[in-house]
Structures are given as structure tokens and as C-alpha cells.
Amino acid sequence: MATIEESVEVDVPVRTAYDQWTQFEEFPSFMEGVKEVRQLDDTHLHWVVEHKGQTHEFDAEITEQKPDERVAWKTTDGTSHAGVVTFHRLSDDRSKVMVQMDWAPDGMLETLGAAIGSDDRRVKEDLGRFKELIENRGAESGEWRGEVEQGETRR
């Protein structure tokens, strides 16, 4: 397993950062290689990503979600990965977004990429684009304030 840990500080309140992050279908606007995210229900997402000219699709389940604190997920098919995004209040108008993710590289090239940190750089760049997006907007484009308790599965 490869592990990624990256964070970014954003000049918006923690609620604004969290609420924007829950707009999963907008991920393609700041995540490189993500072509589409469809929210199937409160806890299930379908992803379409492109990497090195290859299109891949997979499903993920939100395994825990607490407003203004965390969103955790795991894949339910395709390349195995799981992670959590946590939100930390730094001041009334500044917060930190932290991504921690474990994933299983598939094949020699992905294993090499993970070893030299290319996956860490991609997440760091994605977080930089999220920072730019939310700070330029100054407000979230939507919100979902519901909770998903760890171990709870909805369909």
C-alpha cells in the first residue's frame, strides 16, 4: 500500500471549505484527471478518471461524514483505495484541509510513481487548485450537512 498525506491552508472559514468539499460533482474543476463524479445517493459516488490516456471508472462509498470535521471513503470496486479528508479551524476565516489516503498501486509504473512521490505531488497540486477555487469564490457553491456514522451503510 502507498500512503499520501497532504494539506493546504485556505483563507475561508472551516464551514465554507467543508461545504464546498461536499460538492463531489465539482471535483473535476480542481482534481487533475478526474473527468466526472456522479453522486448516486448520500453515500455512493461513481468516478470517471483518465490517467496516461486510459479511462478508468470505479465506485466509492462514503464511510463516515461529520460536518466541518471529516469525510472518509473507500472504493467498492476498481483500484483499491481509502482515505479521509479532515477540516481544521485555524481562525474565524482560515482553515486547514488535510488529505490522508492509502492506495494499492497497480503494476510496476504505478509502484514506481508512488515510490518517487508523484501521487503526493498530484494531491498537493489538487489541493492548491481547491484553495484557488474556494478563495476566489469566497463562498461554497452548495452544501450537504448530513452525517454518516462509521459502519453505517445506506443504499
pLDDT of residue 111: 57
Burial class (CB in 10 A: 0-12, 13-18, 19+), 8: buried
d(CA 121, CA 40): 29
What is residue 146's three-state secondary structure?
Answer: coil
Q: Which three cell numbers stand for residue 153?
A: 451503510
d(CA 7, CA 88): 10
pLDDT of residue 155: 44
pLDDT of residue 54: 84
- Asked if residue 27 lies in contact with residue 108, where contact means CB atoms within 8 angstroms, the answer is no
pLDDT of residue 137: 92
What is residue 120's three-state secondary structure?
Answer: helix
Neighbours of 106 (CB within 10 A): 12
- Asked if residue 64 lies in contact with residue 154, where contact means CB atoms within 8 angstroms, the answer is no
What is residue 115's three-state secondary structure?
Answer: helix
> Tens digit of pLDDT per residue, the chain (155 long)?
788 999 999 999 999 999 999 999 999 999 999 999 999 999 999 999 997 788 989 999 999 999 999 999 999 987 788 999 999 999 999 999 999 999 776 666 655 555 555 677 889 999 999 999 999 998 999 888 989 988 665 54
Phi and psi, residue 31, nearest 5°: -105, 120
Is pTM, for the whole model, over 0.85? yes
